[in-house]
Structure 1
Amino acid sequence: MLTLRLYMAQRITALLMAPLVLGHLAVMIYAIQGGLTAAEILGRTQGSGVWFLFYGTFVLAVSVHGAIGLRVIAHEWGGLRGVVLEGVMWGAGLGLFALGARAVWAVTFA
């Protein structure tokens, strides 16, 4: 049952990430073609709840998706099982979330 739930969580986060990746790429292309500097980009994102929600959702989805993927790799290639396997998954997920959340906070509110 756990495997099915993890499988579904990874697929749902992939569905979430697809439009977020496209949105992120569109924004980056717009910024580069518009000749925006980093300071100008930060000026537009600072204090924006919309960008906080956009990139916060992105970070949450990537954290879950990546942790589950690394869990599968650790099991298939590393032969990890049980508590160690779950620890790898949770450690990776929390690490990805912490790094991403710090970046989102820096871009939108710091």
Structure 2
Amino acid sequence: MLSLRLYMLQRITALLMAPLVIGHIAVMIYAIQGGLSAAEILGRTQGSVAWFLFYGLFVVAVSIHGAIGVRAVAHEWGGLKGAALDAAMWAIGLGLFALGARAVWAVTFA
């Protein structure tokens, strides 16, 4: 039952990430074509709750999606099972979340 839940959660996070990736790429293309500098981009994102929510959701989805994917690889290729497998998944997920959350905070509110 756990593997079905993880499978479905990974698919749901993929559905969330798809429009977020497209939105991110569209914004990057707009910024590059507009000739915006990093300072100008940060000037537009600092203090923005909308960008915080956009990229915050992105980080949560990627953290969950990536951790579940690494869990599957660690099980199939690394032979991890049981508590070690779950610990690896949680460590990867929390690590991805911590790095992503720090970046989102730096871009929007720091």
The CA distance in 2 between the partners of 1:93 and 1:19, in whole Å, is 21
The letter of the residue matching 2:24 is H
Contiguous gaps of at least 5 residues in structure 2: none
Instruction: Give structure 1 regions of 4+ aligned residues with deviation exceeding 4 angstroms.
Output: none
RMSD: 0.2
Q: What is the CA-CA distance between 1:107 and the residue it aligns to?
A: 0.1
Q: What is the CA-CA distance between 1:3 and the residue it aligns to?
A: 0.4
Trace 1:62-77 onto structure 2 (pairs within 5 A).
Answer: 62-77=62-77
Trace 1:6-25 onto structure 2 (pairs within 5 A).
Answer: 6-25=6-25
2:78 — aligned with what? Answer: 78
Q: What is the CA-CA distance between 1:10 and the residue it aligns to?
A: 0.1
Trace 1:42-81 onto structure 2 (pairs within 5 A).
Answer: 42-81=42-81
Contiguous gaps of at least 5 residues in structure 1: none
TM-score, normalization: structure 1? 1.00
The CA distance in 1 between the partners of 2:79 and 2:4, in whole Å, is 20
